């Protein structure tokens, strides 16, 4: 593979990767700091969605939140590849992978092995599995570039791809996370903010039904903070659903109707 | 009403899509005799091709290429290595081609696609070609590995080129090679200097009083750019730039790679049921020559667009 034979020489990235001097600003509780991309604490990055990104798939979607770029393809319903027992409901199979260049340091994306099962659990409750008995729907995600809040973007994008594939769902699934940084809660954190966070809360819900499919809280949280964080996420989720619905309807669908 | 007794009657009543799925070969052949293809192209015509540079911000160079609905994302990350003793003033390029499960219904997670390592090897052979022809002149490949040297014997660049297939619809090698070439033309090598521990670090804007070791060497010189065209052979027909469906129905492929001066770089005909005559191979080369000119124009357009910015 490399230009010369023999074992691949060990390489390192020349960029300064570990900035040990934690948070010039984040550590200080009193200081009013500004987020590095100029957003307010409770302001999400502008979301861009596009369906039909992959022709070979039954349904697909591309999502871009700042530098976080994700493609999700949906295949099926199709024959289950694993020899499994008869099932009168459909199966959902999820996989999340990263490109080698997604992360600032090459090849770090494989650290997120748990994302596949998290994605599965976030979507499972929203899909009407009874509509495709004995078959499997595959949801494959590829993170092209990791810019923070990767999993929430993958989940939202996956539900849009499922809708594009015509898989029956109770509602679109949207997901948003907040990071606790000192006294503040910042929504839709970027990679830098995620690396300094004291705690993280990710909420996945079906906005029209006001039902939560997944909630993960890690790190340091007090009960009022959790309540506040959940409320912020729920609000953002319903706003995100509006953007996603608009994308599904599309500019040209009005012509068809 | 009489029962349709001849198969011709069944076919005439059959829906076009059903016919396409049940008798794919006959479906294509009915098109081929009229010198056309199901997507409306003539036999020698390639699909619409476009390219965009700088799609990945986290990489040092990147390009997105579309040929029809085949889509490739190539990105280059530069890392530092200690060069080998045999070639102390040369860097290295590692090329990898990936087919993630998103790109095609045939690829499943955990089971890599069979085609991926083949394309990966072809790409390495094509791009790192100068290793094999050191005898003819000092340098005659696409990239001079000496340009990747930083400090002779101590540090050199290792360029990791990763190409991801985002949507697989035939002619994967052509799209992958074009994206690789475009990514190299977009590559901006970071300005670095040696720190006190002997490690190479990126210089930030103010340079911090350090002298950069690679001043004025931020772009690679791409001499003789390889460009390719895959053709499909079926009976006496030659179909340029096949789609995934065409590839699966008619299995004999010929890939020709030419460099900027029109010289043959490589020719792959990985078996297949059709045995090619010399004339068919010559026709493929002629088609590639024409296609290479098209691709060169596309590349020139995107790279000139970049310099304006």
CA–CA distance, B69 with B75 (Å, rounded to integer): 19
Calculate the average pLDDT of chain A.
Answer: 85
Which of A47, A46, A56, A45 has the alpha carbon at shortest distance from A157? A47
CA–CA distance, A205 with A203 (Å, rounded to integer): 7
Q: Which of A12-16, B73-77, B153-157 has the highest mean pLDDT?
A: B73-77
| Domains and their CATH numbers in chain A | 47-248 (3.30.230.70)
Interface contact flag, A3 B160, Cβ < 8 Å: no
Interface contact flag, B160 A95, Cβ < 8 Å: no
Interface contact flag, A144 B168, Cβ < 8 Å: no
Work out the end-to-end distance of chain A between its first and last CA atoms, rounded to an integer number of angstroms. 53
Say if A73 is an interface residue toward chain B (CB within 8 Å).
Answer: yes
* Interface probe with B: pick from A3, A17, A57, most Cβ of B within 10 Å: A3
Name the strands in the sheet holding A68-79, side by side, starting at the edge strand that comes first in the sequence. A47-51, A59-65, A68-79, A135-145, A91-98
Is residue A39 within 8 A of residue A45, CB to CB? The reply is yes
Residues of A in contact with B103 (CB under 8 A): 54, 56, 73
State phi, psi for B275 to the nearest 5 degrees.
Answer: -95, 130
DSSP state of A9: P
Which pLDDT does position A40 carry in this prediction?
Answer: 87
Say if B268 is an interface residue toward chain A (CB within 8 Å).
Answer: no
Say if A142 is an interface residue toward chain B (CB within 8 Å).
Answer: yes
Residues of B in contact with A8 (CB under 8 A): 94
Which pLDDT does position A256 carry in this prediction?
Answer: 36
Say if A7 is an interface residue toward chain B (CB within 8 Å).
Answer: no
CA–CA distance, B267 with B279 (Å, rounded to integer): 14
Say if A26 is an interface residue toward chain B (CB within 8 Å).
Answer: no
Is residue B179 within 8 A of residue A32, CB to CB? The reply is no
With 90 as the cut, is the pLDDT of residue B182 above it?
A: yes
Say if B86 is an interface residue toward chain A (CB within 8 Å).
Answer: yes
Work out the end-to-end distance of chain B between its first and last CA atoms, rounded to an integer number of angstroms. 71
Say if B164 is an interface residue toward chain A (CB within 8 Å).
Answer: yes
Which of B22, B18, B16 has the alpha carbon at shortest distance from B38? B16
Which pLDDT does position A88 carry in this prediction?
Answer: 87
Using pLDDT thresholds of 50, 70 and 90, give the confidence band for residue A257.
very low
Mean pLDDT in residue range A173-195: 91
| ipTM surpasses 0.90 | no
Using pLDDT thresholds of 50, 70 and 90, give the confidence band for residue B132.
very low
DSSP SS3 for B191: coil
CATH of segment(s) B41-308: 3.30.230.70
User: How many CA atoms, within 13 angstroms, populate the side-chain half-sphere of residue B8?
Assistant: 1
Q: Find the residue in A nearest to B79 (Cα).
A: A13
Residues of A in contact with B100 (CB under 8 A): 97, 99, 140, 142
Which pLDDT does position A97 carry in this prediction?
Answer: 92
Question: Which candidate from A12, A53, A97 shows the least CB-CB separation from B79?
Answer: A12
With 70 as the cut, is the pLDDT of residue A18 above it?
A: no
A118–chain B nearest CA distance, Å: 16
Interface contact flag, A141 B158, Cβ < 8 Å: no
A216–chain B nearest CA distance, Å: 26
DSSP state of A129: G
pLDDT per residue over A219-243, tens digit each?
Answer: 989 999 999 999 999 999 999 999 9
Name the strands in the sheet holding A211-219, side by side, starting at the edge strand that comes first in the sequence. A184-187, A174-181, A199-206, A211-219
Say if B132 is an interface residue toward chain A (CB within 8 Å).
Answer: no
Q: Out of A16-30, A43-57, B101-115, which region has the weakest mean confidence (pLDDT)? A: A16-30
Paired residues of B99 in beta bridges = none
Sign of CA dihedral A163, B48, B142, B57: negative
Pairing between β-strand A91-98 and β-strand A211-219 as defined by DSSP bridges: unpaired
CA–CA distance, A51 with A244 (Å, rounded to integer): 10
Question: Which candidate from A58, A81, A97 shows the least CB-CB separation from B100?
Answer: A97
* Interface probe with B: pick from A68, A75, A79, A101, most Cβ of B within 10 Å: A101
Mean pLDDT in residue range B143-151: 85
Question: Which candidate from A12, A142, A145 shows the least CB-CB separation from B102?
Answer: A142
Question: Which candidate from A14, A56, A75 shows the least CB-CB separation from B202?
Answer: A14
Which pLDDT does position B109 carry in this prediction?
Answer: 85
How big is the A-B interface in CB pairs under 8 Å? 140
The DSSP line for A29-81 is SSS----TT---TT-PPPEEEEE---TTSSEEEEEEETTEEEEEEEEEEEE-S
With 90 as the cut, is the pLDDT of residue B169 above it?
A: yes
Is residue B175 within 8 A of residue B73, CB to CB? The reply is no
B77–chain A nearest CA distance, Å: 7
Question: Which candidate from A56, A102, A106 shows the least CB-CB separation from B167?
Answer: A56
Which pLDDT does position B196 carry in this prediction?
Answer: 75
Paired residues of A97 in beta bridges = A142
With 60 as the cut, is the pLDDT of residue B8 above it?
A: no
Interface contact flag, A55 B62, Cβ < 8 Å: no
* Interface probe with B: pick from A2, A108, A116, most Cβ of B within 10 Å: A2
Using pLDDT thresholds of 50, 70 and 90, give the confidence band for residue B4.
very low
Which pLDDT does position B120 carry in this prediction?
Answer: 94
Mean pLDDT in residue range A205-231: 93
Within 10 A of A6 (CB to CB), how many other CB atoms are there?
A: 8
Q: Which of B7-11, B55-59, B198-202 has the highest mean pLDDT?
A: B55-59
Buried b / exposed e over A177-207, threshold 16 CB at 10 Å, is bbbbbbebbbbbbbbbbbebbbbbbbbbbbb
Question: Under 8 Å CB-to-CB from A232, ≥6 apart: which residues?
Answer: A42, A176, A178, A185, A187
A51–chain B nearest CA distance, Å: 14
More confidently predicted of A123 and A19? A123
Angle between helix axes B278-308 and B172-186 (nearest 10 degrees) is 30
pLDDT per residue over A88-107, tens digit each?
Answer: 889 999 999 999 999 888 87
Buried b / exposed e over B246-256, threshold 16 CB at 10 Å, is bbebbebbbbb
């Amino acid at each position: 593979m490399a230009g010369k034979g023999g074992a691949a020489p060990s390489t390192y990235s020349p960029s300064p990767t570990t900035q040990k001097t934690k948070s010039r600003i984040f550590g200080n509780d009193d200081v009013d700091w500004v987020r590095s991309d100029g957003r307010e604490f409770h302001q999400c990055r502008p979301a861009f969605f596009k369906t039909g990104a992959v022709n070979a798939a039954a349904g697909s979607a591309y999502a871009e939140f700042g530098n976080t770029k994700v493609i999700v393809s949906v295949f099926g319903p199709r024959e289950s590849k694993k020899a499994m027992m008869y099932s009168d409901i459909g199966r959902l199979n999820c996989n999340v992978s990263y490109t080698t260049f997604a992360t600032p340091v090459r090849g770090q994306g494989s650290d997120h092995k748990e994302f596949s099962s998290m994605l599965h659990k976030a979507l499972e409750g929203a899909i009407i599995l009874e509509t495709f008995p004995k078959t499997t729907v595959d949801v494959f995600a590829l993170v092209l570039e990791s810019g923070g809040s990767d999993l929430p973007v993958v989940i939202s994008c996956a539900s849009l791809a499922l809708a594009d594939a015509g898989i029956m769902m109770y509602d679109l699934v949207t997901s948003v996370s907040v990071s606790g940084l000192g006294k503040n809660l910042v929504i839709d954190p970027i990679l830098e903010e995620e690396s300094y966070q004291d705690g993280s809360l990710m909420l996945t819900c079906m906005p029209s039904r006001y039902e939560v499919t997944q909630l993960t809280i890690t790190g340091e949280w007090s009960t009022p903070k959790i309540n506040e964080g959940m409320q912020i996420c729920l609000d953002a989720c319903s706003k995100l659903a509006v953007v996603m619905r608009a994308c599904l309807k599309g500019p040209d669908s009005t012509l068809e109707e | 009403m009489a029962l349709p007794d001849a198969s011709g009657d069944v076919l005439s009543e059959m829906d076009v899509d059903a016919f396409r799925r049940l008798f794919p070969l006959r479906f294509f052949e009915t098109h081929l005799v009229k010198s056309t293809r199901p997507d409306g192209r003539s036999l020698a015509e390639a699909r619409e091709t476009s390219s965009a540079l700088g799609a990945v911000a986290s990489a040092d160079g990147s390009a997105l290429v579309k040929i029809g609905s085949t889509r490739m994302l190539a990105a280059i990350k530069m890392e530092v290595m200690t060069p080998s003793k045999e070639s102390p003033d040369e860097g290295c390029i590692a090329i990898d081609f990936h087919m993630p499960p998103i790109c095609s219904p045939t690829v499943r997670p955990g089971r890599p696609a069979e085609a991926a390592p083949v394309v990966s090897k072809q790409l390495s052979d094509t791009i790192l070609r100068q290793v094999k022809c050191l005898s003819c002149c000092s340098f005659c490949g696409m990239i001079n590995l000496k340009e990747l040297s930083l400090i002779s014997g101590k540090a050199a660049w290792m360029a990791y080129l990763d190409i991801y297939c985002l949507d697989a619809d035939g002619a994967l090698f052509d799209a992958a090679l074009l994206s690789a070439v475009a990514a190299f033309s977009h590559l901006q090598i970071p300005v670095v200097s040696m720190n006190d521990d002997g490690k190479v670090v990126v210089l930030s804007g103010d340079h911090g009083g350090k002298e950069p070791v690679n001043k004025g060497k931020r772009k690679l010189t791409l001499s003789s750019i390889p460009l390719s065209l895959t053709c499909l052979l079926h009976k006496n027909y030659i179909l340029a730039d096949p789609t995934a469906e065409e590839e699966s129905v008619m299995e004999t492929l010929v890939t020709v790679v030419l460099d900027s001066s029109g010289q043959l770089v490589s020719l792959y005909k990985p078996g297949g049921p059709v045995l090619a005559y010399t004339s068919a191979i010559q026709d493929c080369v002629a088609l590639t020559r024409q296609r290479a000119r098209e691709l060169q124009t596309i590349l020139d357009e995107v790279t000139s667009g970049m310099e304006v910015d």
